[in-house]
Amino acid sequence: MSILNIDVYPALVLKRKTEKILNIDDHIRQLAEDMLETMYQAPGVGLAAPQIGHSISLVVADPGEKDKPSPLILINPEITAHEGQTGITEGCLSVPGYTAEVVRHQKIIVKAYTLDEKEVELTLEDFPAIVLQHELDHLHGILFIDRISRLKRNIYDRKLKKGTLDQS
Protein backbone atom coordinates (compact mmCIF):
# COMPACT_ATOMS: atom_id res chain seq x y z
CA MET A 1 0.00 0.00 0.00
CA SER A 2 1.12 3.56 -0.49
CA ILE A 3 0.12 7.12 0.30
CA LEU A 4 -0.96 8.94 -2.85
CA ASN A 5 -0.49 12.58 -3.73
CA ILE A 6 -3.73 14.59 -3.42
CA ASP A 7 -4.46 17.11 -6.19
CA VAL A 8 -5.74 20.47 -5.02
CA TYR A 9 -7.93 23.14 -6.59
CA PRO A 10 -7.55 24.48 -9.29
CA ALA A 11 -6.11 21.21 -10.71
CA LEU A 12 -7.97 20.45 -13.95
CA VAL A 13 -8.60 16.80 -13.08
CA LEU A 14 -10.94 18.00 -10.32
CA LYS A 15 -13.19 19.72 -12.88
CA ARG A 16 -13.51 16.75 -15.23
CA LYS A 17 -16.45 14.34 -15.33
CA THR A 18 -15.09 10.84 -14.66
CA GLU A 19 -15.30 7.70 -16.81
CA LYS A 20 -17.24 4.64 -15.66
CA ILE A 21 -15.11 1.67 -14.63
CA LEU A 22 -15.79 -1.23 -17.02
CA ASN A 23 -13.36 -3.73 -15.60
CA ILE A 24 -12.64 -4.23 -11.89
CA ASP A 25 -9.07 -5.48 -12.14
CA ASP A 26 -5.98 -5.58 -9.90
CA HIS A 27 -5.14 -1.99 -10.82
CA ILE A 28 -8.51 -0.80 -9.50
CA ARG A 29 -8.20 -2.96 -6.38
CA GLN A 30 -4.74 -1.56 -5.64
CA LEU A 31 -5.89 1.99 -6.29
CA ALA A 32 -8.85 1.56 -3.92
CA GLU A 33 -6.60 0.22 -1.15
CA ASP A 34 -4.12 3.08 -1.64
CA MET A 35 -6.97 5.61 -1.63
CA LEU A 36 -8.25 4.26 1.68
CA GLU A 37 -4.79 4.45 3.22
CA THR A 38 -4.33 7.98 1.87
CA MET A 39 -7.74 9.02 3.24
CA TYR A 40 -7.10 7.63 6.74
CA GLN A 41 -3.65 9.19 6.86
CA ALA A 42 -4.83 12.67 5.76
CA PRO A 43 -7.09 12.29 7.83
CA GLY A 44 -10.35 12.47 5.91
CA VAL A 45 -13.72 10.71 5.77
CA GLY A 46 -13.89 10.35 2.00
CA LEU A 47 -11.73 10.46 -1.12
CA ALA A 48 -12.66 10.32 -4.80
CA ALA A 49 -10.40 9.11 -7.62
CA PRO A 50 -10.05 12.54 -9.33
CA GLN A 51 -8.43 13.81 -6.12
CA ILE A 52 -5.51 11.48 -6.70
CA GLY A 53 -5.38 12.25 -10.41
CA HIS A 54 -7.54 9.44 -11.83
CA SER A 55 -10.60 10.47 -13.81
CA ILE A 56 -12.58 7.32 -13.05
CA SER A 57 -15.75 6.61 -11.07
CA LEU A 58 -14.33 5.35 -7.79
CA VAL A 59 -14.77 6.65 -4.25
CA VAL A 60 -13.72 5.48 -0.82
CA ALA A 61 -15.27 6.68 2.42
CA ASP A 62 -15.55 5.94 6.10
CA PRO A 63 -18.17 8.25 7.58
CA GLY A 64 -18.70 6.09 10.68
CA GLU A 65 -17.40 6.35 14.22
CA LYS A 66 -13.71 7.06 14.67
CA ASP A 67 -12.87 3.99 16.78
CA LYS A 68 -14.84 1.63 14.53
CA PRO A 69 -13.38 1.61 11.02
CA SER A 70 -15.92 0.65 8.37
CA PRO A 71 -14.37 1.44 5.00
CA LEU A 72 -16.58 1.76 1.95
CA ILE A 73 -15.27 1.28 -1.59
CA LEU A 74 -17.78 2.21 -4.26
CA ILE A 75 -17.44 1.73 -8.00
CA ASN A 76 -19.64 3.66 -10.44
CA PRO A 77 -21.84 4.96 -7.60
CA GLU A 78 -25.04 6.83 -8.44
CA ILE A 79 -27.71 8.49 -6.33
CA THR A 80 -31.01 6.91 -7.35
CA ALA A 81 -33.32 8.65 -4.87
CA HIS A 82 -33.15 11.45 -2.33
CA GLU A 83 -35.30 13.34 0.13
CA GLY A 84 -35.16 16.12 2.68
CA GLN A 85 -32.59 18.81 3.17
CA THR A 86 -29.68 19.26 5.53
CA GLY A 87 -26.30 20.95 5.63
CA ILE A 88 -23.12 21.13 7.63
CA THR A 89 -19.81 22.92 7.32
CA GLU A 90 -17.78 20.98 4.78
CA GLY A 91 -14.15 20.88 3.90
CA CYS A 92 -12.20 18.95 1.29
CA LEU A 93 -8.67 17.56 1.09
CA SER A 94 -8.48 19.17 -2.37
CA VAL A 95 -9.54 22.59 -1.03
CA PRO A 96 -7.11 23.11 1.85
CA GLY A 97 -7.63 25.91 4.33
CA TYR A 98 -11.30 26.57 3.61
CA THR A 99 -14.67 25.34 4.92
CA ALA A 100 -18.25 26.40 4.21
CA GLU A 101 -21.78 25.22 4.80
CA VAL A 102 -23.34 23.36 1.87
CA VAL A 103 -27.00 22.40 1.33
CA ARG A 104 -27.42 18.64 0.80
CA HIS A 105 -30.13 15.99 0.74
CA GLN A 106 -30.86 14.56 4.18
CA LYS A 107 -31.39 11.02 2.90
CA ILE A 108 -30.13 9.30 -0.24
CA ILE A 109 -30.13 5.89 -1.88
CA VAL A 110 -26.86 5.05 -3.64
CA LYS A 111 -26.38 2.22 -6.12
CA ALA A 112 -22.84 1.06 -6.76
CA TYR A 113 -20.60 -1.92 -7.38
CA THR A 114 -18.19 -3.36 -4.83
CA LEU A 115 -14.68 -4.61 -5.58
CA ASP A 116 -16.06 -8.13 -5.95
CA GLU A 117 -18.47 -6.92 -8.66
CA LYS A 118 -21.58 -7.14 -6.50
CA GLU A 119 -24.25 -4.50 -7.03
CA VAL A 120 -25.19 -2.84 -3.75
CA GLU A 121 -27.83 -0.35 -2.71
CA LEU A 122 -27.11 1.80 0.34
CA THR A 123 -29.62 3.95 2.20
CA LEU A 124 -27.81 6.75 3.99
CA GLU A 125 -28.94 9.59 6.21
CA ASP A 126 -27.38 12.70 7.74
CA PHE A 127 -23.55 12.69 8.00
CA PRO A 128 -22.87 9.57 5.90
CA ALA A 129 -25.36 10.88 3.28
CA ILE A 130 -23.54 14.24 3.21
CA VAL A 131 -20.12 12.58 2.86
CA LEU A 132 -21.30 10.44 -0.05
CA GLN A 133 -22.93 13.41 -1.81
CA HIS A 134 -19.66 15.34 -1.47
CA GLU A 135 -17.64 12.41 -2.87
CA LEU A 136 -20.06 11.68 -5.72
CA ASP A 137 -19.89 15.36 -6.68
CA HIS A 138 -16.16 14.86 -7.25
CA LEU A 139 -17.02 12.21 -9.86
CA HIS A 140 -18.94 14.89 -11.77
CA GLY A 141 -16.19 17.49 -11.52
CA ILE A 142 -18.01 19.41 -8.78
CA LEU A 143 -16.32 20.73 -5.63
CA PHE A 144 -18.14 21.96 -2.53
CA ILE A 145 -16.96 25.48 -3.38
CA ASP A 146 -19.08 25.16 -6.56
CA ARG A 147 -22.15 24.87 -4.30
CA ILE A 148 -21.68 27.97 -2.15
CA SER A 149 -22.96 31.49 -2.88
CA ARG A 150 -21.24 33.60 -5.55
CA LEU A 151 -20.24 36.07 -2.82
CA LYS A 152 -18.52 33.43 -0.67
CA ARG A 153 -16.88 31.93 -3.74
CA ASN A 154 -15.45 35.30 -4.77
CA ILE A 155 -14.00 35.78 -1.29
CA TYR A 156 -12.48 32.29 -1.47
CA ASP A 157 -10.94 32.89 -4.92
CA ARG A 158 -9.50 36.22 -3.76
CA LYS A 159 -7.95 34.65 -0.64
CA LEU A 160 -6.51 31.83 -2.73
CA LYS A 161 -4.92 34.35 -5.10
CA LYS A 162 -3.47 36.39 -2.25
CA GLY A 163 -2.34 33.27 -0.41
CA THR A 164 -4.19 34.25 2.76
CA LEU A 165 -6.21 31.06 3.32
CA ASP A 166 -5.81 29.39 6.73
CA GLN A 167 -3.12 26.78 6.41
CA SER A 168 -4.49 23.66 8.07
**Distant-in-sequence, close-in-space partners of 60: CB < 8 Å, separation ≥ 6:** 32, 35, 36, 39, 46, 47, 71, 72, 73, 74
Which of 28, 36, 92, 124 contacts Ni ion by CB under 5 A? Answer: 92
Find the part of the chain contacting Ni ion (CB under 5 A) among 12-20, 86-94, 104-112, 119-127.
Answer: 86-94
Q: Which is nearer to Ni ion, 24 or 97 (CB)?
A: 97
**101 tagged catalytic:** no
Total residues contacting Ni ion (rule CB under 5 A)?
1
Query: What whole-number distance in Å separates Cα of residue 25 and Cα of residue 166?
Result: 40
Residue 136 interacting with Ni ion (CB under 5 A): no
- The closest residue (CB) to Ni ion is 92
Q: Is 50 or 75 the residue whose CB approaches Ni ion more closely?
A: 50
| Piece of 5-13, 57-65, 84-92, 121-129 that binds Ni ion (CB under 5 A) | 84-92
Active site residues: 135
> What is the binding site for Ni ion (CB under 5 A)?
92
